[in-house]
Amino acid sequence: MAIFKGSGVAIVTPFKEDGSVDYDRFREVIEFQIAGGTDCIIVCGTTGESSTLSHEEHLECIRFCTEVVNHRIPVVAGTGSNCTETAIYLSQEAEKFGVDGLLIVTPYYNKATQKGLIKHYTEVAASVKLPIIMYNVPSRTGTNIQPETAAYLVEHVENIVAIKEATGNLSQIARLMSLTKGKIDLYSGNDDQVVPILSLGGIGVISVLANVAPKETHEMVASYLGGDVEKARQIQIDAIPLCDALFCEVNPIPVKKAVELMGLCGGTLRMPLTEIEPEHEAKLKAAMTGFGVPLK
């Protein structure tokens, strides 16, 4: 059974002006997502600025999110690392908090061969009982999970069940689905490719867009999976200007500004991320207004 079907939000981590985690606003953001129809919360991913969280903060954010959600929808914890031992540690600790699944990014900076990826994912998976979503985002990590590698892992490792595909390469994704013959749960990792990936057998999205438009992102996937392809297609097309604006600078700079503009939480970022450029903020505001996102 899939961890979730539909729209999973790659949720932001609110910070106070002094840079500490703002748990009061984090609770509000979580409740906003659940009220908006989001089908799953992915905590401590790229959008959650996990790379600047200490291990203690990382785990506390996972624990807090799981506690607030309280089984109303699934929670998936980002516990990947470029160090296999660290990924195992974070994954085992997250499992103790009762999360529903893990999102494991490919090792970054030191990279890995395809053989290394197989060993990395196999060892992380063996350390827990939770289902695992592989996260393939070579633009950030410099490492691409080849379709043959993903197919091998899904075939040989019982709790590796899914992949978040953010390569942008639809031909590669089509090959993966051909090789796996329906044995892998496919999630779009790009908000501008949700419907195309659903058409290849995807069952959902792990979304930045959902931070600001949870209802519409949920409806896009639900409509497609429910057979209303035209409605899903129209939501996808209508969302393109906002998708573009949310990635006009490196994620999560624009989305952090977007949730601030909505009054959900402060837009504080941790270094080395910096405040959005004024011209990009103007573009973001226009795109949000155009898509019907209310500003404070």
Report pLDDT for 32. Answer: 98
- Domains held by the chain: number: 1
Q: Is 215 among the residues known to form the active site?
A: no
User: Which percentage of the chain shows pLDDT scores above 70?
Assistant: 100
Evaluate whether residue 1 is within a structural domain: no
Evaluate whether residue 170 is within a structural domain: yes
Report pLDDT for 182. Answer: 85
Report pLDDT for 278. Answer: 98
* Mean pLDDT calculated for residue range 222-235: 98
pLDDT in tens, 19-68: 999 999 999 999 999 999 999 999 999 999 999 999 999 999 999 999 99
Q: What is the DSSP string of the chain?
A: --S--EEEEE----B-TTSSB-HHHHHHHHHHHHHTT-SEEEESSTTTTGGGS-HHHHHHHHHHHHHHHTTSS-EEEE---SSHHHHHHHHHHHHHTT-SEEEEEPP-SS---HHHHHHHHHHHHHT-SS-EEEEE-HHHHS----HHHHHHHHHH-TTEEEEEE-S--HHHHHHHHHHHTT-SEEEES-GGGHHHHHHTT--EEEESGGGT-HHHHHHHHHHHHTT-HHHHHHHHHHHHHHHHHHTSSSTTHHHHHHHHHTTSS-----TT--PPPHHHHHHHHHHHHHTTPPP-
Evaluate whether residue 286 is within a structural domain: no
* Mean pLDDT calculated for residue range 83-93: 98
Which residues are 77's β-sheet partners? Answer: 43, 102
pLDDT, averaged across the chain: 97
Evaluate whether residue 163 is within a structural domain: yes
Which is catalytic among the residues 121, 164, 224, 257?
Answer: 164
Evaluate whether residue 84 is within a structural domain: yes
pLDDT band at 1 (very low <50, low <70, confident <90, very high): confident
Report pLDDT for 23. Answer: 98
Evaluate whether residue 53 is within a structural domain: yes
Evaluate whether residue 39 is within a structural domain: yes
Evaluate whether residue 254 is within a structural domain: no
Range of the structural domain that residue 89 is part of: 6-226
Q: Is 135 among the residues known to form the active site?
A: yes
Which is catalytic among the residues 135, 152, 187, 224?
Answer: 135
Report pLDDT for 249. Answer: 98
Indicate which CATH number applies to the domain containing 136: 3.20.20.70
User: Model pTM?
Assistant: 0.97
pLDDT in tens, 124-169: 999 999 999 999 999 999 999 999 999 999 999 999 999 999 999 9
